[in-house]
Structure 1
């Protein structure tokens, strides 16, 4: 199959270089690459003999007298991984000498090298698809058919060489779609080429153990299930992975002008644990995108991320109730400014002086805004419990966390 894909191109190119017609047959002696297209598909008894004998043979005029469209020359078997794929013949080279031997060996070696490369690419592609399938099984196994699916996934993992009982942590690498498309156009690369190169880079930077499971989740996301050593603490792992992520992002920027957001789940064991770590990494990614954390590394166990996840997962009925009660604030013309003020106030531990400095406003202006919030909501902004309720509602309504950059909302005076 591989030889058939390249035979005609190799025959034409080699003929131009060496000045002699080149013929290539498959393992059954049928011509699949010729300098004269009219000879394609012809059965060449002499090349079949080379395939069977697995050795270089010279053929003279006397050998082809009764063989129409077959010409004298020298031929050698094409052998890849100890299997004879076909034969290569140089027409007209009938004199056995050192120069002819070099010609045929050079062409033979060139074809075998191309076949090796193509075979390796094909095997790598199959391996990648097999791992992607394993990840698909891991993330979508049916909890209703729990026992059967676990056994099936375990067997599939073992077939690929993975022990799925080990402790792993899921990382999700998220690359912006628009950035990928811009990079593809600037570098004249296909989407498939970009994704293949990204996968190769991810494997290079993140794969430190043959038990690490790495695959593509969707168009713009890649998943890594990093194996954690028994003696490795979560702190040690976080420190090591942060360094790897920084190097990876530096590489992305230098080569493709890209950057990636990366979320990290929690360490868990077994198939169910891998799925849970992935789900938690997904939650961290969703929450992290709503924050101003920089660099874009989102740990599921980070307290700021945890608070954002909590906000995302609280029942909608809870927010509907509070939103109804706080509608005067939410519908106020200066809601954006009041919301920003309050979130910064919470971020600075309800400290008036620090908040005023951060917002670049006078302390009295800050007090006025907080009093306005109290007037509209009947909540006491000096009371922690009241502030917590308002904080959750504002974050949910604005779909952002407490900003460190107050330019998120335009600054307007409400005095």
Structure 2
């Protein structure tokens, strides 16, 4: 047992120093792997095999060990783990003097091994989960999904029922310096407590400031998902405030799907909802991919710039006009006011005639009809895309640059 070999010497040194007695620990082959006398480490303790075979304490008096090599007087007791003897504890000294320590030290070693093994198992489970999730969210990059299926078997999770991906975003964590110690373990425990209702619910960090939750959902659970997220935001924010981490928390979620590909799709939706929600409605804290308040923003984000290049020459005059920023602001406000001239003028705090003059100038420069919804929609998309991609149609040349 590798873990036993790793902890034996530190356990011996700590316990021997604390109690002022001489100790040794052997493995299941009788090799000393821990001793306060370091010269004995790696040597064979010949009588350990008897203790392991009988599974009970054996007492060795001074007279009994006179003719035995590398055996000192004292008591040897079996160390148990997972219902089997994995080694031997040796306490050196007159048996009657050291007997009182046997039960205490052995119990301490066995308890330490159980806790260390549990912690190590949890770390392995966590690392396996992290690797699985990284594979899952990049599902489209994998031609062979057998590796993902192997991970599912290791983790004991199945994707034959609907799952939704929730993306928990704590931007302040990404801004912390390397000297600061964020409360990541406690935060993950709280996220698990808030969202894990089944052993198959997966909670895992995907970046320094984001956690993904792949949660089993039934159709009846979906309406209450928003309430669950609202409650979680409040509790997570309160926890981070207590830890001195400021900046707020947002949660976004996609739609529910079955299968590995469906889970990856839900993650991508949650990711897009996070980005669009923070841009279009930063005061909100919970975003749903199918919310119409952010769907237009998601739609704009997904439009390929190459599509806009096809008619770039027709609208380039707008960018080259000396007062292009004013015209663009006016046209966007007009479109976002449902193409209502009076409403747009009020929103811009300008006279209606001023707005009409600017719209006519845009019409003159781009040859669009300001009364045509279809034509305005195309120009609106181009202008909004330009806001997010400053290099688009910049300069006098064609293309993106």
2:342 and 2:352 in contact (8 A); partners too: no
Tell me: CA distance 1:282–1:365, structure 2 relative to 1, closer, same or farther (3 Å).
same
Tell me: CA distance 1:51–1:350, structure 2 relative to 1, closer, same or farther (3 Å).
same
Name 2:109's counterpart in structure 1: 111
Deviation at 1:95, TM superposition (A): 1.0
Question: Helix, strand or coil: the match of 2:42?
Answer: coil
Q: How many residues align?
A: 386
How far apart in 2 are the matches of 1:248 and 1:394? 38
Name 2:293's counterpart in structure 1: 304
After superposition, the CA RMSD in angstroms is 3.4
Deviation at 1:94, TM superposition (A): 1.7
Name 2:160's counterpart in structure 1: 165
How far apart in 2 are the matches of 1:38 and 1:322? 83
Residues 1:246 and 2:241 are matched in the alignment: no
Once the two structures are superposed, the pairs formed by residues 121-160 of structure 1 within 5 Å of their partners are 121-136=119-134, 138-140=136-138, 149=145, 157-158=152-153, 160=155
Name 1:405's counterpart in structure 2: none
Q: TM-score, normalised by structure 2?
A: 0.81
1:322 and 1:393 in contact (8 A); partners too: no
1:290 and 1:399 in contact (8 A); partners too: no
Q: TM-score, normalised by structure 1?
A: 0.79
Partner of residue 271 from structure 1, selected from 222, 244, 260: 260
1:174 and 1:221 in contact (8 A); partners too: yes
Tell me: CA distance 1:381–1:21, structure 2 relative to 1, closer, same or farther (3 Å).
farther
Name 2:21's counterpart in structure 1: 20
Name 1:89's counterpart in structure 2: 90
Name 2:201's counterpart in structure 1: 212
Name 1:41's counterpart in structure 2: 42
How far apart in 1 are the matches of 2:15 and 2:188? 34
Residues 1:313 and 2:302 are matched in the alignment: yes
Question: Helix, strand or coil: the match of 1:225?
Answer: strand
Partner of residue 182 from structure 1, selected from 176, 185, 206: 176
Deviation at 1:88, TM superposition (A): 1.8
Question: Helix, strand or coil: the match of 2:152?
Answer: helix
Deviation at 1:394, TM superposition (A): 1.8
Name 1:236's counterpart in structure 2: 224
How far apart in 2 are the matches of 1:183 and 1:252? 16
Once the two structures are superposed, the pairs formed by residues 64-75 of structure 1 within 5 Å of their partners are 64-75=65-76
How far apart in 1 are the matches of 2:69 and 2:177? 55
How far apart in 2 are the matches of 1:339 and 1:246? 39
Deviation at 1:270, TM superposition (A): 2.7
Deviation at 1:112, TM superposition (A): 1.4
The CA deviation string for residues 175-198 of structure 1, in whole angstroms up to 9 with x for no partner, is 44x8346265223x7xxxx65555
